[in-house]
Structure 1
Amino acid sequence: MIVGVDVGTSVTKAQLIARDGRTTPAHEARSTVYTLPGNRVEQDMDEVIGTVVTVVRAAVADAAQLDPDEPIEALALTGQGDGLWLRDAQGRPVGRALSWMDGRAADVLDRWTADGITREVHRRTGSGMFPGAAAPLLAHLAEHEPERLAAADVAGYCVDTIAQRFTGERTVDASDASLPFLNVATRRYDEQALELCGLTRWRSLLAEPAPPGTLFGLLPKVAAELGLPAGLPVSAGPFDIPACGFGSGLSEAGQGNLIIGTTLACQVLSADPAPPGDEAAGMVLATPYPDRYLKVMPAMIGTAGLDWLLKMLGVRIEELDALLAQSPYGAGGVTALPFLSTSGERAPFVDARARGRLDGLSPLTGRADLVRALCESVAYSARHCLETLGVSAEVTACGGGARSGEWGRVFAGVLGRDLHVREDAVGIRGAARVAFTALGADAEVTGAPARTVRADPEAVEFYEAGYAAYLRALAAARESW
């Protein structure tokens, strides 16, 4: 069995997973997200690592529930991507981690967009950039806080931060390294992309990507703290979006996966590393599997926007399905644009000025209409992303939003296809799948879909026209932002 860990933006989870896919209940610990003036969003690295220690210890104590005679074979890590986690040579933090939600580098991105730099980097590496990506954050610090970069030994991400503290290794998974400087076909950094961003001076801060199948050894002191044996193999990646893809069962080119979480992450498995779409948006990720790449559109909108609206309306999340059922297709004429992130949007287009809106309001509009309009707009964005990525086979869904039966029916209707929903430990299953492969173990951890949401023909017909109207409204809004 494997201890799987998923370090989310505010919640860290861990549980055991057996070779046949059985799991123990997940243990959770929360970490603080600091939202500060100037669109800054930060996290304390030591606090995040402390949550990992807490949940791993709790998960290890559950080993007898799966099989008291089977040993724990590895620790598999996954977690949030993007952002900037600066550390010294011992893995100690150089200031707080800059979250993927951070918007302080929006002006850098504006300059790069105007100068054509973002488009050229996208052409070379397949990665679009947004304010919370590592490149603009590095450039912002180089301009405003160069002493922080000078004090750092590595500019990395969440998962490799934990890996360094647990194993002593200065490393990065190729999925994290893909953003935005890696040539995913060669798995080497594109030096021209670094030069275009003015970051050649700081090239030494980038750890070299670990080859596929790499396992590290748990340090004795850390092992004792976790309740695990010293030297236990540690798998560090992929980060949470690709981990969810592989945990959902992606295995054939053309298959898609929709993560309805804080962000709306849409991804398609591909045999072609060419960038998706005509705009400098999205990303192409190296994966642990030969000649397979993930093309991803990680939209900033998702359950976070819905949480905001429900709070404004004084509605509990448990009431979501009932509210959606009260409003008809089209939400009584109310429509929405769902761009409710302070740092704008990053997929399938990039614009730090993107903002949400509600249209078609009248005295007859109720809370259910507002909620349905926003949920429909998120589904339209998902279709926009998946079509840009070129999905051509079945689509799976996971994440907190996928638990809603009514919202699932909206997604199925908008996408015009059945949706295969997976609910149980999807990111951890993906990390465990990679770790078992690295161990050379024969394991099937993805399991069957929890349920299949059928696309209702009437909904498909209605939403076809609704999607066209959404695209028109989006085009007009983009001109006004």
Structure 2
Amino acid sequence: MRGIIGVDIGTSLTKAVVFDEAGASIAQACTPSKVHHLPKGAVEQDFEQVLGTVATVVRDVAAQLDGPVEALALTGQGDGVWLRDEAGYPVRPAISWLDGRANALLTEWQASGVTREVFRRTGSGMFPGCAAAILSYLDTHEPDVLDRAAVAGYCVDAVVQRLTGEITVDISDASLPFVDPVTRRYDEQAIAACGLTHRRGLLAEPAPPKTVFRLGAAGAALLGLPEGLPVTAGPFDLPACAIGAGVREPGDGILTAGTTLACQVLTRDPTFDPEGEPAGMFLCTPNEADYLRAMPAMVGTAGLDWACRLLGIEVTDIGPLLAASAPGANGVRALPFLSSSGERAPFVDAAARAQFSGLSLESSRADVVRALCESIAFAARHCFEAAGLSGTLYACGGGVRSPEWTQIFADVLGRPIVIPGDPGVGARGAVLVAGEALGEPFDVDLWAGNSRTVEVVPANVEHYERGYAEYQTSLNAARDHWTL
């Protein structure tokens, strides 16, 4: 057993896990983070509270170990903007990737060609909760805040700065939207296209691959760990989950059914179609030969949470309700775009909104839940078609804890789904990256062996082919009518 604590700083939950040499978790802890939903689509987090969750889970897991902690491996949520000063203290609350205050700005950028210009240079689309849109919004509405800030970064590097004193950013976080994936450097013309050249100094330079930081005195006191302890930072949670799940061959993909419905496919070709739909992300990874074409849709488990509140049910009721309604949900259909900031993959539209159709007096709660779950699976298929899935498909996240919903995903996607045996997939990825950076890599084949496969039901695959065609028709019709 190596005492590397993997920490995944999620949007609503921070987890810490220690794994044995075979990749099985031997100690773990989690604690919630607070997400503040404010008027006009604003979504923020208190950085000090989030940092406190890291201290809580690290101390908890360290107390469970028989031996010493040897390193700390961090991953966490991406996008948004976490502004702080030279010492790493926030100059305003962190703005989440879920934020929608820049909806109107993003719509203007789409009309004026800004989003297309940035996509041509970086392969990444922009959405209201990405750093470019938020920074531009703040430059207009809160310029004094940007004047006080020393760095505009992300969740993981904000935590790293407080723990180690280093101002840095992982290349995966920096990828959206300003990094040219071929050069792995910021594209100055992409920054200029967003009108942010005068704020260029807020962007930290990406750390080289396999960079190892050291825990400073303040970080050591916060975590109760020795000063000088090795710390690795990144990649952020999307590529970390891909690494942790076992995605290693071009064409392999991973479905993360969490707050975000993240669909990613591995490629070793850094080129992209500059005239394609300006959506998704082209993510650099710790391995300079590997890239992830990511389509992180906004239609994840948050939609199921909404349905639970609306229908007066618990999350534990989802499985039985799915079982109580046949494929096709007795004619009920849905578009799942419930986020107040619209959609960001495989298309970007800040005005995207959900709809249900085919409802009658005979429709049940089970039909509504199944229609929503099927529509999210259709959205996943749309994303994977855009990302180029051709190999093995892996899956993780809270959504795949439901056997019924996982079966829907497999049947809609028309392929088996490999589910890693340990739920802490993001932390697994961070720890695997840490092993490489520390010069003591783990046996990735051994780690990948602890998994199960969900096979498709052929009759359902045929049914969902028709359902997906209907979904596309409804989506295309709806896009003509969405307005802010």
* TM-score where L is the length of structure 2: 0.96
| SS in structure 1 at match of 2:25 | coil
| SS in structure 1 at match of 2:106 | helix
In 2, the alpha carbon distance for the partners of 1:23 and 1:454 equals 26
Matches within 5 A, 1:134-213: 134-213=131-210
1:433 lines up with 2:432 in the alignment: yes
Contact 2:75 2:233 in 1 (8 A): yes
State the Cα deviation string for residues 51-105 of structure 1 (Å, max 9, x = none).
Answer: 10111011111111xxx3xx43210000000000001000010110000011111
User: What runs of 5+ residues in structure 1 fail to find an aligned partner?
Assistant: none
Q: In the alignment, residue 53 of structure 2 is paired with which amino acid?
A: T
1:110 lines up with 2:111 in the alignment: no
Contact 1:433 1:444 in 2 (8 A): no
1:450 lines up with 2:469 in the alignment: no
| SS in structure 2 at match of 1:406 | helix
Shift in alpha-carbon separation, 1:22–1:451, aligned structure 2, 3 A: closer
In 1, the alpha carbon distance for the partners of 2:326 and 2:56 equals 45
Segment drifting more, 322-331 vs 415-424: 415-424
Corresponding residue for residue 273 of structure 1 = 270
Partner residue of 1:369 out of 350, 367, 370: 367
Corresponding residue for residue 474 of structure 2 = 473
1:216 lines up with 2:231 in the alignment: no
Segment drifting more, 363-372 vs 438-447: 438-447
In 2, the alpha carbon distance for the partners of 1:246 and 1:393 equals 15
| Percent identity of paired positions between Structure 1 and Structure 2 | 58
In 1, the alpha carbon distance for the partners of 2:384 and 2:342 equals 19
| SS in structure 1 at match of 2:409 | helix
In 2, the alpha carbon distance for the partners of 1:75 and 1:442 equals 15
Partner residue of 2:86 out of 86, 89, 94: 89
Contact 1:127 1:275 in 2 (8 A): no
* TM-score where L is the length of structure 1: 0.97
| SS in structure 1 at match of 2:115 | helix
| SS in structure 1 at match of 2:31 | strand
Corresponding residue for residue 73 of structure 2 = 76
Q: In the alignment, residue 453 of structure 1 is paired with which amino acid?
A: V
Partner residue of 1:331 out of 320, 329, 354: 329
Matches within 5 A, 1:272-351: 272-275=269-272, 278-351=276-349
Q: In the alignment, residue 47 of structure 1 is paired with which amino acid?
A: Q
Contact 1:185 1:286 in 2 (8 A): no
Contact 2:321 2:369 in 1 (8 A): yes
Contact 1:275 1:295 in 2 (8 A): no
| SS in structure 2 at match of 1:378 | helix
State the Cα deviation string for residues 122-175 of structure 1 (Å, max 9, x = none).
Answer: 110011111000001000010111100010000000000000000000100000
In 2, the alpha carbon distance for the partners of 1:345 and 1:311 equals 22
In 2, the alpha carbon distance for the partners of 1:440 and 1:104 equals 43
| SS in structure 1 at match of 2:26 | coil
Measured after TM superposition, the shift of residue 27 of structure 1 is 1.0
In 2, the alpha carbon distance for the partners of 1:372 and 1:450 equals 26
Q: In the alignment, residue 273 of structure 1 is paired with which amino acid?
A: P
In 2, the alpha carbon distance for the partners of 1:361 and 1:108 equals 35
| SS in structure 1 at match of 2:37 | strand
CA RMSD of aligned residues (A): 1.2
Contact 1:83 1:132 in 2 (8 A): yes
Matches within 5 A, 1:3-152: 3-64=5-66, 68=67, 71-152=68-149
In 1, the alpha carbon distance for the partners of 2:38 and 2:187 equals 33
Q: In the alignment, residue 424 of structure 2 is paired with which amino acid?
A: A
In 1, the alpha carbon distance for the partners of 2:48 and 2:21 equals 32
Contact 1:327 1:368 in 2 (8 A): yes
In 2, the alpha carbon distance for the partners of 1:243 and 1:92 equals 26
Contact 2:254 2:395 in 1 (8 A): yes
Q: In the alignment, residue 108 of structure 1 is paired with which amino acid?
A: L
Q: In the alignment, residue 47 of structure 2 is paired with which amino acid?
A: M
State the Cα deviation string for residues 183-223 of structure 1 (Å, max 9, x = none).
Answer: 12211100000110000000000000001000100012321
Contact 2:162 2:218 in 1 (8 A): no
Measured after TM superposition, the shift of residue 310 of structure 1 is 1.8
User: What runs of 5+ residues in structure 2 fail to find an aligned partner?
Assistant: none
1:464 lines up with 2:465 in the alignment: yes
In 1, the alpha carbon distance for the partners of 2:254 and 2:33 equals 27
Q: How many pairs are equivalent?
A: 476
Segment drifting more, 296-305 vs 422-431: 422-431
Q: In the alignment, residue 428 of structure 2 is paired with which amino acid?
A: R
| SS in structure 2 at match of 1:13 | strand
Q: In the alignment, residue 475 of structure 1 is paired with which amino acid?
A: N
Partner residue of 2:397 out of 380, 396, 399: 399
Measured after TM superposition, the shift of residue 227 of structure 1 is 2.5
State the Cα deviation string for residues 272-303 of structure 1 (Å, max 9, x = none).
Answer: 12347821100001100021101100000011
| SS in structure 2 at match of 1:170 | coil
Contact 1:301 1:341 in 2 (8 A): yes
Q: In the alignment, residue 19 of structure 2 is paired with which amino acid?
A: I
| SS in structure 2 at match of 1:24 | strand
| SS in structure 2 at match of 1:26 | strand
Segment drifting more, 330-339 vs 273-282: 273-282
In 2, the alpha carbon distance for the partners of 1:291 and 1:240 equals 19
Contact 2:19 2:27 in 1 (8 A): no
Contact 2:99 2:129 in 1 (8 A): yes
In 1, the alpha carbon distance for the partners of 2:407 and 2:463 equals 13
In 2, the alpha carbon distance for the partners of 1:448 and 1:307 equals 32
Measured after TM superposition, the shift of residue 449 of structure 1 is 4.8
State the Cα deviation string for residues 347-395 of structure 1 (Å, max 9, x = none).
Answer: 0000011000110011111111111100000000000000111011010
Q: In the alignment, residue 189 of structure 1 is paired with which amino acid?
A: Y
In 2, the alpha carbon distance for the partners of 1:225 and 1:308 equals 36
State the Cα deviation string for residues 240-281 of structure 1 (Å, max 9, x = none).
Answer: 111111110011110000000011000000011234782110
Q: In the alignment, residue 455 of structure 1 is paired with which amino acid?
A: V
In 2, the alpha carbon distance for the partners of 1:280 and 1:47 equals 35
| SS in structure 2 at match of 1:320 | helix
Q: In the alignment, residue 434 of structure 1 is paired with which amino acid?
A: V
| SS in structure 1 at match of 2:176 | coil
Segment drifting more, 444-453 vs 341-350: 444-453
Q: In the alignment, residue 358 of structure 1 is paired with which amino acid?
A: F
